[in-house]
Amino acid sequence: MDTVTESGLAIAMARVGGVGVIHKNLTIEEQASEVEKVKRNESGFITDPITIQKDLSIKEANDIMSNYRISGLPIVDDENKLVGIVTNRDIKYRQLNEDPVSSVMTFENIITGQPNIQLDEAKQIMIDNRIEKLPIVDSENKLVGLITTKDIDNKLEYPNACKDELGRLRVGAAVGVAPETLERVDALVKAGADFIVVDSAHGHSDGILKTVKEIRTKYPKINLIAGNIVTPEAAKTLKEAGVDAVKVGIGPGSICTTRVVAGVGVPQITAINEVVA
Protein backbone atom coordinates (compact mmCIF):
# COMPACT_ATOMS: atom_id res chain seq x y z
CA MET A 1 0.00 0.00 0.00
CA ASP A 2 2.92 2.36 0.54
CA THR A 3 4.44 1.72 -2.89
CA VAL A 4 1.38 2.29 -5.08
CA THR A 5 1.36 5.93 -6.13
CA GLU A 6 3.99 7.30 -8.47
CA SER A 7 3.68 9.88 -11.23
CA GLY A 8 1.44 7.83 -13.54
CA LEU A 9 -1.29 7.27 -10.97
CA ALA A 10 -0.91 10.77 -9.51
CA ILE A 11 -1.44 12.32 -12.96
CA ALA A 12 -4.52 10.16 -13.61
CA MET A 13 -6.02 11.07 -10.22
CA ALA A 14 -5.37 14.81 -10.54
CA ARG A 15 -6.93 14.93 -14.01
CA VAL A 16 -10.28 13.78 -12.62
CA GLY A 17 -10.20 16.02 -9.56
CA GLY A 18 -8.31 13.92 -7.04
CA VAL A 19 -4.76 14.12 -5.79
CA GLY A 20 -2.06 11.50 -5.39
CA VAL A 21 0.68 11.22 -2.80
CA ILE A 22 4.04 9.96 -4.09
CA HIS A 23 5.21 7.20 -1.74
CA LYS A 24 8.42 7.45 0.27
CA ASN A 25 9.96 4.08 -0.58
CA LEU A 26 12.18 5.72 -3.18
CA THR A 27 15.49 7.51 -2.99
CA ILE A 28 15.22 11.25 -2.40
CA GLU A 29 16.16 11.92 -6.03
CA GLU A 30 13.66 9.38 -7.38
CA GLN A 31 10.78 10.71 -5.29
CA ALA A 32 11.52 14.32 -6.23
CA SER A 33 11.67 13.28 -9.88
CA GLU A 34 8.22 11.67 -9.64
CA VAL A 35 6.83 14.90 -8.19
CA GLU A 36 8.43 16.89 -11.03
CA LYS A 37 6.88 14.60 -13.63
CA VAL A 38 3.42 15.37 -12.27
CA LYS A 39 4.00 19.12 -12.00
CA ARG A 40 5.41 19.28 -15.54
CA ASN A 41 2.84 16.96 -17.11
CA GLU A 42 0.47 19.70 -18.09
CA SER A 43 0.01 23.40 -17.55
CA GLY A 44 -1.85 26.09 -19.39
CA PHE A 45 1.39 28.07 -19.42
CA ILE A 46 4.64 26.31 -18.52
CA THR A 47 6.69 28.96 -16.73
CA ASP A 48 9.83 26.85 -16.29
CA PRO A 49 10.07 24.56 -19.32
CA ILE A 50 12.88 22.04 -19.53
CA THR A 51 15.51 23.38 -21.90
CA ILE A 52 18.78 22.20 -23.40
CA GLN A 53 21.69 23.76 -25.25
CA LYS A 54 22.60 23.03 -28.83
CA ASP A 55 25.78 21.10 -28.05
CA LEU A 56 23.87 18.40 -26.16
CA SER A 57 23.85 15.07 -27.99
CA ILE A 58 20.83 13.69 -29.81
CA LYS A 59 20.88 10.69 -27.48
CA GLU A 60 20.83 12.89 -24.37
CA ALA A 61 17.97 14.98 -25.76
CA ASN A 62 15.97 11.83 -26.46
CA ASP A 63 16.66 10.54 -22.94
CA ILE A 64 15.38 13.77 -21.41
CA MET A 65 12.18 13.67 -23.46
CA SER A 66 11.61 10.03 -22.54
CA ASN A 67 12.26 10.62 -18.85
CA TYR A 68 9.84 13.55 -18.59
CA ARG A 69 7.37 12.11 -21.13
CA ILE A 70 7.51 15.20 -23.31
CA SER A 71 7.74 15.48 -27.07
CA GLY A 72 10.00 18.46 -27.55
CA LEU A 73 12.59 20.77 -26.03
CA PRO A 74 13.34 24.47 -26.51
CA ILE A 75 17.04 25.11 -27.11
CA VAL A 76 18.61 28.16 -25.47
CA ASP A 77 22.02 29.78 -25.21
CA ASP A 78 23.92 30.83 -22.08
CA GLU A 79 21.69 33.90 -21.71
CA ASN A 80 18.50 31.81 -21.99
CA LYS A 81 17.78 33.24 -25.44
CA LEU A 82 15.85 30.93 -27.73
CA VAL A 83 18.02 29.57 -30.54
CA GLY A 84 16.01 26.56 -31.66
CA ILE A 85 13.59 23.79 -30.85
CA VAL A 86 13.79 20.03 -31.25
CA THR A 87 10.91 17.56 -31.18
CA ASN A 88 10.64 13.80 -31.23
CA ARG A 89 9.72 14.06 -34.91
CA ASP A 90 13.15 15.55 -35.60
CA ILE A 91 14.94 12.54 -34.13
CA LYS A 92 12.38 9.80 -34.72
CA TYR A 93 14.29 8.16 -37.56
CA ARG A 94 17.73 9.36 -36.54
CA GLN A 95 20.39 7.26 -34.93
CA LEU A 96 20.55 8.11 -31.24
CA ASN A 97 24.23 8.96 -31.16
CA GLU A 98 26.55 11.66 -29.85
CA ASP A 99 25.93 14.07 -32.73
CA PRO A 100 24.91 17.49 -31.38
CA VAL A 101 21.23 18.31 -31.30
CA SER A 102 22.05 21.39 -33.38
CA SER A 103 22.30 19.07 -36.38
CA VAL A 104 18.59 18.25 -36.24
CA MET A 105 16.96 21.20 -34.47
CA THR A 106 14.75 23.81 -36.10
CA PHE A 107 16.55 27.16 -35.89
CA GLU A 108 14.98 29.30 -38.62
CA ASN A 109 11.56 30.96 -38.66
CA ILE A 110 10.66 29.73 -35.18
CA ILE A 111 7.08 30.67 -34.32
CA THR A 112 6.88 32.29 -30.89
CA GLY A 113 4.37 34.08 -28.68
CA GLN A 114 4.52 37.04 -26.33
CA PRO A 115 4.27 36.74 -22.52
CA ASN A 116 0.74 38.21 -22.38
CA ILE A 117 -0.71 35.83 -24.98
CA GLN A 118 -4.08 34.18 -24.25
CA LEU A 119 -4.56 30.41 -24.58
CA ASP A 120 -7.17 30.78 -27.34
CA GLU A 121 -4.80 32.98 -29.33
CA ALA A 122 -1.92 30.56 -28.76
CA LYS A 123 -4.07 27.65 -29.91
CA GLN A 124 -4.97 29.44 -33.15
CA ILE A 125 -1.31 30.26 -33.85
CA MET A 126 -0.39 26.59 -33.42
CA ILE A 127 -3.25 25.48 -35.67
CA ASP A 128 -2.36 28.00 -38.39
CA ASN A 129 1.32 27.02 -38.34
CA ARG A 130 0.81 23.29 -37.76
CA ILE A 131 2.99 23.21 -34.68
CA GLU A 132 2.46 21.57 -31.30
CA LYS A 133 4.64 23.82 -29.15
CA LEU A 134 4.72 27.58 -28.88
CA PRO A 135 7.75 29.05 -27.09
CA ILE A 136 6.99 32.28 -25.24
CA VAL A 137 9.76 34.88 -25.42
CA ASP A 138 10.23 38.43 -24.15
CA SER A 139 11.43 41.48 -26.08
CA GLU A 140 15.04 40.22 -25.88
CA ASN A 141 14.11 36.78 -27.24
CA LYS A 142 14.68 35.21 -23.82
CA LEU A 143 12.54 32.16 -23.16
CA VAL A 144 9.96 32.81 -20.43
CA GLY A 145 7.51 29.98 -21.02
CA LEU A 146 6.02 27.34 -23.27
CA ILE A 147 2.49 26.47 -24.39
CA THR A 148 1.65 23.10 -25.96
CA THR A 149 -1.38 21.74 -27.76
CA LYS A 150 -1.43 18.84 -25.29
CA ASP A 151 -1.95 21.20 -22.38
CA ILE A 152 -4.78 23.00 -24.16
CA ASP A 153 -6.45 19.71 -25.14
CA ASN A 154 -6.14 18.35 -21.60
CA LYS A 155 -7.73 21.50 -20.21
CA LEU A 156 -10.78 20.85 -22.38
CA GLU A 157 -10.85 17.08 -21.79
CA TYR A 158 -10.38 17.30 -18.01
CA PRO A 159 -12.32 20.40 -16.88
CA ASN A 160 -12.41 19.24 -13.26
CA ALA A 161 -8.68 18.59 -12.93
CA CYS A 162 -7.10 19.44 -9.59
CA LYS A 163 -4.61 22.21 -10.40
CA ASP A 164 -2.56 24.82 -8.58
CA GLU A 165 -2.59 28.58 -9.20
CA LEU A 166 -0.18 28.13 -12.13
CA GLY A 167 -2.39 25.56 -13.84
CA ARG A 168 -0.20 22.58 -12.92
CA LEU A 169 -1.60 19.31 -11.61
CA ARG A 170 -1.46 19.01 -7.83
CA VAL A 171 0.50 16.26 -6.09
CA GLY A 172 1.65 15.48 -2.56
CA ALA A 173 4.57 13.47 -1.25
CA ALA A 174 5.04 11.26 1.79
CA VAL A 175 7.96 11.28 4.20
CA GLY A 176 8.74 9.18 7.24
CA VAL A 177 10.71 9.55 10.43
CA ALA A 178 14.34 9.21 9.39
CA PRO A 179 17.62 11.12 9.73
CA GLU A 180 17.36 12.41 6.16
CA THR A 181 13.70 13.49 6.38
CA LEU A 182 14.39 17.24 6.24
CA GLU A 183 16.72 16.72 3.29
CA ARG A 184 13.93 14.78 1.58
CA VAL A 185 11.41 17.53 2.34
CA ASP A 186 13.80 20.13 0.89
CA ALA A 187 13.98 18.20 -2.38
CA LEU A 188 10.22 17.64 -2.53
CA VAL A 189 9.40 21.29 -1.90
CA LYS A 190 11.91 22.32 -4.57
CA ALA A 191 10.31 19.84 -6.99
CA GLY A 192 6.94 21.52 -6.42
CA ALA A 193 5.04 19.23 -4.05
CA ASP A 194 1.78 20.88 -3.02
CA PHE A 195 1.76 19.24 0.39
CA ILE A 196 3.79 16.90 2.56
CA VAL A 197 2.40 13.85 4.37
CA VAL A 198 4.30 12.64 7.43
CA ASP A 199 3.30 9.02 7.08
CA SER A 200 3.49 6.25 9.67
CA ALA A 201 1.47 3.20 10.69
CA HIS A 202 1.24 4.82 14.14
CA GLY A 203 1.01 8.58 13.79
CA HIS A 204 0.58 9.43 17.48
CA SER A 205 4.22 9.08 18.48
CA ASP A 206 7.13 11.21 19.64
CA GLY A 207 8.97 10.66 16.37
CA ILE A 208 6.08 11.91 14.24
CA LEU A 209 5.49 14.92 16.48
CA LYS A 210 9.18 15.86 16.38
CA THR A 211 9.27 15.56 12.59
CA VAL A 212 6.10 17.62 12.16
CA LYS A 213 7.51 20.41 14.32
CA GLU A 214 10.81 20.43 12.43
CA ILE A 215 9.09 20.64 9.06
CA ARG A 216 6.67 23.32 10.24
CA THR A 217 9.53 25.41 11.65
CA LYS A 218 11.45 25.30 8.37
CA TYR A 219 8.41 25.58 6.10
CA PRO A 220 5.72 27.59 7.92
CA LYS A 221 3.49 27.86 4.84
CA ILE A 222 3.67 24.33 3.40
CA ASN A 223 0.47 22.29 3.61
CA LEU A 224 1.25 19.53 6.12
CA ILE A 225 -0.63 16.30 6.85
CA ALA A 226 0.26 13.60 9.37
CA GLY A 227 -1.04 10.17 10.36
CA ASN A 228 -2.19 7.51 10.71
CA ILE A 229 -4.30 8.07 13.80
CA VAL A 230 -7.62 6.86 15.24
CA THR A 231 -8.22 8.94 18.38
CA PRO A 232 -9.27 12.53 19.10
CA GLU A 233 -6.28 12.90 21.44
CA ALA A 234 -3.93 12.15 18.55
CA ALA A 235 -5.68 14.65 16.30
CA LYS A 236 -5.44 17.38 18.93
CA THR A 237 -1.75 16.70 19.59
CA LEU A 238 -0.87 16.76 15.89
CA LYS A 239 -2.85 19.95 15.35
CA GLU A 240 -0.94 21.63 18.17
CA ALA A 241 2.31 20.43 16.57
CA GLY A 242 1.43 22.28 13.37
CA VAL A 243 -0.40 20.03 10.90
CA ASP A 244 -3.15 21.29 8.61
CA ALA A 245 -4.90 17.93 8.38
CA VAL A 246 -4.70 14.42 9.81
CA LYS A 247 -4.89 11.04 8.12
CA VAL A 248 -7.35 8.78 9.93
CA GLY A 249 -7.28 4.99 9.87
CA ILE A 250 -5.05 2.27 11.26
CA GLY A 251 -5.40 -1.04 9.50
CA PRO A 252 -8.75 -0.59 7.68
CA GLY A 253 -7.45 -1.93 4.37
CA SER A 254 -8.35 -5.48 3.37
CA ILE A 255 -4.68 -6.48 3.03
CA CYS A 256 -3.34 -4.40 5.93
CA THR A 257 -1.73 -6.38 8.77
CA THR A 258 -1.31 -3.54 11.29
CA ARG A 259 -4.25 -4.57 13.48
CA VAL A 260 -3.19 -8.20 13.38
CA VAL A 261 0.39 -7.38 14.35
CA ALA A 262 -0.52 -4.79 16.98
CA GLY A 263 -3.49 -6.65 18.39
CA VAL A 264 -5.58 -3.47 18.49
CA GLY A 265 -7.63 -1.41 16.10
CA VAL A 266 -10.59 0.89 15.61
CA PRO A 267 -13.27 0.44 12.92
CA GLN A 268 -12.80 3.13 10.30
CA ILE A 269 -16.20 4.85 10.60
CA THR A 270 -15.86 4.87 14.38
CA ALA A 271 -12.37 6.34 14.14
CA ILE A 272 -13.49 9.13 11.80
CA ASN A 273 -16.50 9.91 13.98
CA GLU A 274 -14.41 10.14 17.14
CA VAL A 275 -11.62 12.21 15.58
CA VAL A 276 -13.99 14.87 14.24
CA ALA A 277 -16.13 14.95 17.39
Distance CA 179, CA 33 (A): 21
The phi, psi pair for 157, rounded to 5°, reads: -75, -30
Residues 6+ apart with CB under 8 A from 268: 248, 249, 252
Question: What's the pTM value of the predicted model, to 2 decimals?
Answer: 0.80
Domain-embedded: residue 249 = yes
Q: For residue 87, what is the enclosing H or E element?
A: strand 82-87
Same-domain status, 260 and 170: yes
Instruction: With respect to residue 115, please indicate whether it lies within any of the assigned structural domains.
Output: yes
* Domain end residue (candidates: 157, 183, 205): 157
Question: Where does 153-241 show beta strands of DSSP type E?
Answer: 171-175, 195-199, 223-229
Output the pLDDT for position 174: 98
What is the reported pLDDT for 2?
67
The verdict on 171 and 268 lying in the same domain is yes
Range of the domain at 253: 7-41+162-276
Mean pLDDT by 10 residues, the chain (277 residues): 86 97 97 95 83 96 91 96 94 88 94 91 94 95 93 89 92 97 98 97 94 98 96 96 96 82 85 91
Say whether both 221 and 265 belong to one domain. Answer: yes
For position 121, which CATH number holds?
Answer: 3.10.580.10
Question: Looking at the domain assignment, is residue 13 inside a domain?
Answer: yes
130 and 91, same domain (yes or no):
yes
Domain count across the chain: 2
Question: 1 lies in a domain?
Answer: no
Same domain, 168 and 151: no
Domain boundary among 157, 188, 203: 157
CA distance 161 to 27: 28
Same domain, 167 and 257: yes
Same domain, 191 and 272: yes
Query: Is 49 part of any domain?
Result: no
Of 157, 181, 209, which residue is a domain's last? 157
